[in-house]
Amino acid sequence: MEVKVKVPADDVDWKRFLDKAVELKRFELELERSRSLQRVVLEMLASKSRLSEEQAKSLSKLVNKGLAKRYK
Question: What is the rounded CA–CA span in Å between residue 38 and residue 52?
Answer: 22
In 3D space, the residue among 24, 49, 25 whose CA is nearest the CA of residue 60 turns out to be 49
- Say how many domains are in the chain: 1
Q: Is residue 2 part of a domain?
A: no
Q: Is residue 48 part of a domain?
A: yes
Q: Is residue 60 part of a domain?
A: yes
End-to-end CA distance of the chain: 25
Tell me the whole-structure pTM to 2 decimals.
0.41
Section 15-33 average pLDDT:
86
Percent of the chain beyond pLDDT 70? 100
Domain that holds residue 27: 14-70
Q: Is residue 7 part of a domain?
A: no
Residue 51 predicted with pLDDT over 80: no
Q: Is residue 35 part of a domain?
A: yes
Question: What is the rounded CA–CA span in Å between residue 9 and residue 11?
Answer: 7
